[in-house]
A and B are shown apart, each in its own frame.
Chain A
Amino acid sequence: MEREKVIEVKDLVKRFGAFTANNRLTFDVYRGEIFGFLGANGAGKTTAMRILCGLSRPTSGRVLVAGIDASRRPEEIKKRIGYMSQRFSLYEDLTVRENIELYGGIYGMSMKEIVPRREALLERLSFTSYGDMLIRALPLGLKQKLAFAVAVFHDPEIVFLDEPTSGVDPVTRRQFWEMIYETASRGITVFVTTHYMDEANYCDRITIMSEGRIVALDSPSALLRQYGTASVEDLFVKIARPQKNTV
């Protein structure tokens, strides 16, 4: 049985002048999947992700996100996705509750929908006592978890996480990944870029990009078998670095 595709990318090309940032990318992402996007800095991850988020238009190729064409109606894509960046993205001078209200509101939810969901969320994260505290008063780990919860608060079809765990301690990273699993189990597709190779193991499938191309795409275990390496880190060094050095 064919699984439902939420992202379909075929022959995606993005050029900036003479520079080709994305060179004929082709991949699909399935609903409820945790899809890891790996690559050295400058490999073209961010460019591809910006196109998938509707922030930038592909030069050529076909990109469908949640069934919507990224070249034609990027604004529609924005309503159906969630986003969390490596840079911390909640407002420090607003309280936890106000931040949730703000993002709920921006994604078109009414206060009637927001309030019960917000309270349920705070309950689930055992954050209720922090509800009226300013974000700046919270420890980083809590902020990061909350930022993720806010990114999926409006039940997007896909959530894009751009290096969400950089600068977070291992315990929080672990908890963070538990939240990611929980989200994926609710049918929300998770598209994540990361620098931490051990995190790649947590993904259902990973893509490794190098110099604008996809050089590997499969489940982590299948890739390890294919290339005969012991860890994703070795794999990454083996396939993403040498090409880089030849240029």
Chain B
Amino acid sequence: MKRFMAFVRKEFLHIFRDFRTLIILFGIPAAQILIFGYAVRTDLKDAGIAVLDNAGDGVSKELTQKIEASEFFYVKKHLNSYEEIDEAFRQGEIKAVIIFPGQIAASVAREGSATVSIIADGSEPNTASLVTGYITGIVSDYSSSLTSAVTSSLPLIVPEVRMYFNPGLESHFMFIPGVITLILILICALMTSVTIVREKEYGTMEVLLVSPLKPWQIIVGKVTPYFFLSLVNVIVILLMAWFVFGLPVRGSIPLLIAECMLYILLGLAIGILVSASTSKMENAIFISFLALMLPTLLLSGFIFPIENMPVIYDYVSMILPPRWFVEIIRAIMIKGAGFAYIWKETAILAGMTLLLMVISSRRFKTRLEEEGK
């Protein structure tokens, strides 16, 4: 134990002495949270639009006001003719143009209906569909209020939509669990593989192996600091999520931390496995990034819903630990679910962790025996 502690202490010294390691450990997670949280948004806020008001009567003014009063849009430009539409889009400052036909109020009063055109910037399909969806919502909302006012007859069927768990449809709800998932696996796998491979590269591994430290003590000693620092990271991210984005943990915090510990162990096991397959630091970094970052981003369901993918991707994603962890962490943080709802995902992660640990400790042992013979 004394030997082991001396070794762990050295590991901590390495970390705290290396500025770059500290940046990767703490700076990058914080930056990612802020970047994903603020810059990458799937919800709409303050999108610029233009209005071409051919009517200039009560209805068109009221509707414009309503649209502008929502927090989603502001009217960037008032256009005077159809010719200006093209130019407005090309300047790129607006996401949509709303066109009111002439005498819209009269048309509503006389025929009981009118048409408002919405032209959206289709070069950004996602934003365009959001924008049109929101505007349509506002327009139909207004129109149903008109209907009841004018004809005082009940409108037909009015759907009343409510977003469960996330009433404001805030995209942080989606990103913060995803960012935790991404950061933990990246940091754990990257840092452990690099720190182990570094000992090989510098020739210090040889000396450690000749020492009375047992191989498992070397490995456990190398990953112990990263286990604790990753936990600190989780706590920092959760605090940021709460104070910066107002996203509290609705479920049990001890459960959340326990699940994170499991996931961290899994990341460390991946790191050990990577370190056993290479003796060059660049390779370790390359493998960790390519093999972990991209699949986690694309296939974990963190950004792109798995349900929308061809079924083959669904199967592929099943072997990726992040997919299961994203579900667990979303369930706990946002739905406030207890263990009964996530035991299956937890069991899958635990199984994967165990498997990876067995494989990586085997590989590690055989590698050591091969080396330097």
Contact = CB atoms under 8 A, between A and B. Distances in A.
A232 interface: no
A21 B372 CA distance: 13
Contact of B14 (A93, A107, A110): A93
Given A47-B373, A106-B211, A88 B202 contact: yes
Interface of B: 2-3, 5-7, 9-10, 13-14, 17-18, 202-204, 206-214, 369, 372-373
B207 A89 contact: yes
Interface stretch (A75-83, A195-203, A217-225, A239-247): A75-83
Interface in A99-117: 101-108, 110
A71 interface: no
A23 interface: no
Nearest to A162: B206
Contacts, number: 82
A247 B293 CA distance: 51
A206 interface: no
B214 to A, nearest CB: 7
A92 interface: yes
A92 B18 CA distance: 11
A53 interface: yes
Given A46-B372, A105-B6, A110-B2, A75 B18 contact: no
A179 to B, nearest CB: 18
Interface of B is mostly: helix
14 contacts: A75-B212, A83-B206, A85-B206, A89-B207, A91-B14, A93-B13, A93-B14, A94-B13, A98-B10, A102-B9, A105-B5, A105-B7, A106-B6, A107-B3
Contacts of A79: 212
Contact of A106 (B14, B202, B203, B213): B213
Q: What are the 3 closest A-B residue pairs judged by CB atoms, nearest first?
A: A105-B6, A87-B203, A83-B210
B3 A91 contact: no
B105 to A, nearest CB: 76
Interface in A58-75: 75
A36 to B, nearest CB: 20
Contact of B13 (A81, A90, A98, A108): A98
Given A89-B203, A94-B10, A75 B214 contact: yes
B207 A85 contact: yes
B207 A105 contact: no
Q: Give the size range of A's interface with the partner.
A: 35 or more
A54 B212 CA distance: 10
A53 B210 contact: yes
Contacts of B207: 83-85, 89
A53 B373 CA distance: 13
A229 B100 CA distance: 109
A16 B373 contact: yes
B210 A81 contact: yes
A111 B10 CA distance: 14
Contacts of B204: 89-91
Interface of A is mostly: mixed
A188 to B, nearest CB: 16
B169 to A, nearest CB: 48
A59 to B, nearest CB: 13
A169 B209 CA distance: 28
Given A56-B373, A106-B6, 16 more contacts: A46-B372, A54-B210, A56-B369, A79-B212, A81-B210, A85-B203, A89-B204, A90-B204, A93-B14, A94-B17, A101-B6, A102-B10, A105-B5, A107-B3, A108-B2, A110-B2
A102 B17 CA distance: 16
Contact of A88 (B14, B203, B209): B203
Given A47-B373, A87-B202, A91-B14, A102 B212 contact: no
A115 to B, nearest CB: 13
Contacts of B212: 75, 78-79, 106-108
Contacts of A91: 10, 14, 202, 204
A105 B212 CA distance: 10
Identify the interface centre among A53, A55, A88: most chain B CB within 10 Å of its CB.
A55
A55 B13 contact: no
Contacts of A47: 373
A108 B210 CA distance: 14
A101 B206 CA distance: 18
A10 interface: no
Identify the interface centre among A46, A81, A107: most chain B CB within 10 Å of its CB.
A107
A174 interface: no
A95 to B, nearest CB: 9
Contacts of B203: 85, 87-89
A133 to B, nearest CB: 13
A50 B373 contact: yes
